[in-house]
Structure 1
Amino acid sequence: MSGTTSEGQPAARAGPCCDCRKPKAQSTSADPASDPASGSCVRRPESRPGEHWTKTLRNRTRERLRSPTRSRSPVKERGVGKKKQQVSEDAYGQAAGAIGGLAVMFGILAAIKDRLGLSWPATVLLTTGVLVGLGYGAWRLRSGLARMLSGTPQPAAAAQQEAPAASLDGEQAGAELLPAHPELTAALRTAGVIGSEQVIRADQVTISPVQTGEVYDFLVPKGRTYEDVEKRLGTVAGMFGVTRLHMTLERSRDNERRVKLLKLHEPPFTRPFPAPTRQEIETFAGVPLGHDVTGQLAGVPTFDKASLLVAGMTQMGKTTLVNGLITCLLIGYGEFELYLLDGKFCGLTRFEPYATRYESSDDPAVFWEMVRELNRRSDERYAQITEAIRNRQPVPKFKPVIFIVDEAADFFASGATNEEKDQAKQIAEDTRSLVAKSLESGISTVLMTQRPSTNAIPVMVRDQFLYRMCLYVASAGTAKVALGDTYFETVAPINPVLLDPDIKGQAVLFANGRSRLIRGFDFDDKFIWDVVDKRVAKRMESLPEETPLRKAIELLRAKGVDFMTTPDMAPALGILEDDPAKRGKRLNELLGGPPTYKNSQGRGYRLDDLVAFAMSDS
């Protein structure tokens, strides 16, 4: 019986004998372990569940670590091959589609060409343009409909280009939305006055024509002021295609951003302006010194507590300019005393009848004596001021004194001897004191020189002048001597080297930190004489009556003479002294101490000296 052994035991079923899963062969031996032919393996000690699979996994992991490269499994290789085959088939399909599309396109182009009778290039360009236009139109229509239906706002990028974000007060938005002034915006951007993103709004620009050019009245953007334009005025002039002399800037008194920019049509003072009338001078707010580039009167606010230095090369019109200054002072400055030292001997002669003291000399001793006289008067006035303050009284008002010197450099020249050198040093020191310390006492000084070299007028004297004026000079170094060593570091300086030497009397006026180009007045001699005569007559009317000084003046006028000796004048005034020395002393005391004059006839008194002394507050 196949199912049992000879001993009647049940036959073992063919199958795996253990976990090795090998099939178990039939065995006739009662002891399977002793039958090597039985095909069954020796049974190992029974292990825990899963231990065999854990060891197998561990062994496979070790094999992977030992072998850096593993052969790809057949399944994966078959998958990659299928993918490559699929990609190749897709490429063939796309190529076939492209060829078909090209064939259709050329067919359409051929039909259009035959229909319209155009050449091939024209047909291709026309078709391409139509397709691009249709595509763009469809895109715009689709985008617009989508925004309209969904209520989506305009994209941020487009909104920034068409309507930039408004600033806190709407200024920037308004500047971008409103049109910009093209000329001013381009010029000021390139000159560095405003930023590359800033504009000059067209609605804030006013262009007004004037006699010699046009005035641009505009507002610079917020964050900028008129000073940004003033500092780069030369560069701005270059952007307009003109020179610095063609441009003039005027600030506003109500807004730091407002700028008034004058641009001349031609070089300044190409055409002369007529001399001002007496009424124009009287109504001017200050002391006019000349015309500006537009033909308006220009000058300084006052000569009270201020002095003026005028420099320029010879034959540039300094004397004519100062003659105009004195004429304007006589017309509109009120009562003042005039001290004149004419280094040219005839440049200031027209004003001698009015001058308190007039000297025509190039002797440094004469200049020094006049300086010391004015210093003494200054000391006397300071003493009166001090006494009034101590007594708690109002400070006395003094009549202004103006000391004008032509060719002043000659009086500071130093000689070869030690005595002359010491005298030159003392003259410089006394002049410095006069200019610096006499301002509070109402004594002003005007010095003119045609040699504005480094040592022509000492630095200690030059540095005391509040107002400076420079006519044409040949070098910037000479201009610094006249206008100051730091002049070209000031705001919007004007270089006198650029002035036209053929136009006489034009000068750079530097006053109160601002530069201005002016041209002095050239009055007719008859006009000047008429002004002087009227002021002298007015002075005589104001003289006190029935005084010895008034009687002496009337005596000279009655006799028609300009000079009278002491022996002739003393008896007329009731002095009958026989001793000449005593007679002269008594007469001088009677008259109040006016200056005497000696000529070939002897010592006596001049009419002009008596009149000037009568008008002085000595």
Structure 2
Amino acid sequence: TELQNDLALALAAPSIRIEAPIPGLARVGLEIPNEQIATVGLRETLESLGFTRSKAKLPIPLGRDVNGRYVVGDLTRMPHLLIAGATGSGKSVCLNGIISTFLLTRSPDDLKLLMIDPKMVELTGYNGVPHLQCPVVTEMDKVVGALRLTLREMERRYTLFSRLGVRNLDGYRMKVADEPGAENLPYLVVVIDELADLMMTAPDEVESLLVRLAQMARATGIHLIIATQRPSVDVLTGLIKANVPSRVAFAVSSLTDSRVILDMPGAERLLGRGDMLFLPPDAAKPQRIQGAFIEDKDAQYVVDHWHAIAPVPEYSPEWLELPSNPESDAADASDDPLMDQALNIVRQQGTASASMLQRRLRVGYNRAARLIEQMEDDGVIGPADGLRGRPVLVGHE
């Protein structure tokens, strides 16, 4: 790091990045940023030979590398993608570019999208396009329900595959290609714009559902694109990172954040405005790329085009009525899947309190308090007794 700072001082550069060695060459590279950042447009990336000759089933136009070559990824080979970077680094533009490319190159029969947008401003502009599995999910209490339905769809597809004796979505499509009336199974891409908000609301459930999908959903044609602007260890847990091998890191504020995303330094020296490090699953070192840029009005043109073709989107009824998470205020604690576990903890301790259940079950205060109230209604524990925990009533110990 000291050597990098000394070299940057000598070259009068804001920051430099050392590539040692350059892949395929017996050379050490110094990446020195230009004074002005060149804009790489999404259109020029889509019109490049790298994209037009690509055989990717779900193409992702990343941008242009330091040698001027256009880089195109394939989501089906990744098979899941993690995008992280500080505010203003180009993360949302990258996400818009990926979604716009899907809308431009794939029909609703070939690809469905499930969008989860806790911030309520980034992805809601795509509401109404026929590719959506359901309207953009913005309510936090329905996120877990949407992920559970995705998991159920994955299990349904596996049952279908085993009945037909095929191993993956490609095998299924080849098998039923000549069968009239066979069910069409599109790719399903789950786009999560801000993972940090989800992990704050229901960390255990969100993590377990995402990990299960990341581990098993690939063969069924279900893929995840997860974005976050807070790359900390409590958001990007070890389990999530282990199952999402492809990473895109935009500029971050510290070396620690870079290590969380890429497991190596480098992202803290990026310039922002679309400057990224792309780490594919089969590479040991990340590739530096200037991301493809798309303006909001251009993304809106694509959405308007699909609105004109299909003015009224068709959604499945079960996806329109997403079940609420037990974390929500309206949920009944007696149906909470953690009730049995909470009862066992209370019986072992001999006393009950909301703060104890919060710690032991890793849930929010509202949910822990509802569990306590339900136990009191059921006669398992007594009323509150000052600062001491509630007593467990005789017969329930």
Please classify the TM superposition score into its range, dividing by the shorter chain length.
Answer: 0.5 to 0.7
Q: Is the alpha carbon distance of 1:362 and 1:456 closer, same or farther for their aligned partners in structure 2, counting shifts above 3 Å?
A: farther
Name which of 17, 31, 36 aligns with 1:245: 17
1:251 and 1:517 map into 2 onto residues whose CA distance is 13
> Who is 2:133 aligned against?
356
Q: Which residue of 1 aligns with 2:87?
A: 314
Cα distance in 2 for residues equivalent to 1:322 and 1:472? 15
- Cα RMSD (Å): 3.7
The residue number in structure 1 matching 2:52 is 283
State the Cα distance separating 1:440 from its structure 2 match. Answer: 1.0
CA contact (8 A) 2:40 2:290 kept: no
Q: Answer whether contact 2:85 2:229 (CA < 8 A) is retained.
A: yes
Structure number with higher relative contact order (C-alpha < 8 Å, ≥ 6 residues apart):
2
Unpaired runs of 5+ residues, structure 2, are: 174-184, 323-397
Q: Contact 2:16–2:31 (CA<8 Å) still a contact in 1?
A: no
Mapped pair 1:271 → 2:38: yes
Determine whether 1:375 maps to 2:151: yes
Amino acid at match of 1:372: R
Aligned to 1:408: 195
- Identify if the C-alpha distance between structure 1 residues 537 and 305 changes in structure 2 by more than 3 Å, giving closer, same or farther: farther
Contact 1:432 1:464 in 2 (8 A): yes
CA distance in 1 between counterparts of 2:83 and 2:92 reads 10
In structure 2, the residue matched to 1:482 is 261
Separation (CA, whole Å) in 2 of partners of 1:359 and 1:410: 16
Q: C-alpha displacement at 1:250, in angstroms? A: 6.5
TM-score with structure 1 setting the length: 0.42
- Map residues 520-535 of structure 1 onto 2, 5 A cutoff: 520-535=291-306
Flag the 1:519–1:343 CA change in 2: closer, same or farther, 3 A: farther
Structure 1 pair 353–292 and aligned structure 2 pair: CA distance change class (3 A): farther
- Residue matched to 2:121: 346
- For residues 429 and 597 of structure 1, do their structure 2 counterparts lie closer, same or farther at Cα, with a shift above 3 Å needed? closer
CA contact (8 A) 2:194 2:227 kept: yes
State how far apart, in whole Å, the 1-side matches of 2:226 and 2:166 are.
Answer: 35
* Matched AA of 2:190: F
Q: Higher helix fraction: Structure 1 or Structure 2?
A: 1
Q: CA deviation at 1:336?
A: 0.8
> How many pairs align?
291
Structure 2 residue 280 is the aligned partner of structure 1 residue 505: no
Q: Residue deviations 1:404-446, cap 9 Å, x none?
A: 01111111115xxxxxxxx532232112101111111110011
Q: Which amino acid aligns with 1:435?
A: A
Report Cα offsets for 1:343-369 as digits up to 9, x if no partner: 221111232222222334251x22111
Q: Kindly state the Cα deviation for residue 300 of structure 1 after the two structures are TM-superposed.
A: 1.7
Residue 325 (structure 1) aligned to one of 83, 91, 98 = 98
How many angstroms apart in 2 are the aligned matches of 1:249 and 1:267?
22
Q: Deviations over 1:544-588 (max 9, x none)?
A: xxxxxxxxxxxxx6xxxx79xxxxxxxxxxxxxxxxxxxxxxxx9
What is the 5 A alignment of 1:584-599?
593=317, 595-596=319-320
State the SS of the aligned residue for 2:172.
coil
Pair 1:389–1:537, CA change in 2 (3 A): farther
Report the CA distance between 1:386 and its aligned residue.
1.1
Q: Tell me, yes or no, if the aligned pair for 2:126 and 2:303 is still in contact at 8 Å.
A: yes
Quote the Cα distance in structure 1 between the aligned partners of 2:163 and 2:78. 21
- Partner SS state of residue 231, structure 2: coil
The secondary structure found in structure 2 opposite 1:288 is strand
Shift of 1:535: 4.6
Contact 1:346 1:360 in 2 (8 A): no
- 1:448 matches 2:227: yes
Q: How far apart are residue 249 of structure 1 and its match?
A: 7.5
- Normalised by the size of structure 2, how large is the TM-score? 0.63
Q: Percent identity?
A: 19
CA deviation after TM superposition for structure 1 residue 294, in Å = 4.2
- 5 Å matches for 1:572-583? none
Partner of 1:437: 216
Contact 1:362 1:411 in 2 (8 A): no
Q: How far does residue 495 in structure 1 lie from its aligned partner after superposition?
A: 0.6
Deviation per residue, 1:367-420 (Å, 9 max, x gap) = 1111101001000111111111289xx931342111101111111115xxxxxx
Q: 1:246 to 1:292 in 2, by over 3 A?
A: farther
* Residues in 1 aligned to 2:239 and 2:27: alpha-carbon distance in whole angstroms: 38
Question: Is 1:400–1:443's contact at 8 Å kept on the other side of the alignment?
Answer: yes
Residue 243 of structure 2: aligned partner: 464
Superposition deviation, residue 313 in structure 1: 1.7
Q: How does 1:560-575 map to 2 (within 5 A)?
A: none
Partners in 1 of 2:27 and 2:104 — Cα distance? 31
1:304 and 1:357 mapped to 2: Cα distance? 25
1:385 maps to: 161
The yes-or-no answer on 1:424 pairing with 2:199 is no
On the 8 A contact 1:308/1:468 being kept in 2, the answer is yes
Quote how far apart the aligned CAs of 1:260 are. 8.8
Q: In the alignment, which residue of structure 2 is the partner of 1:193?
A: none
Give the distance between the partners of 1:447 and 1:287, measured in 2 at CA.
14
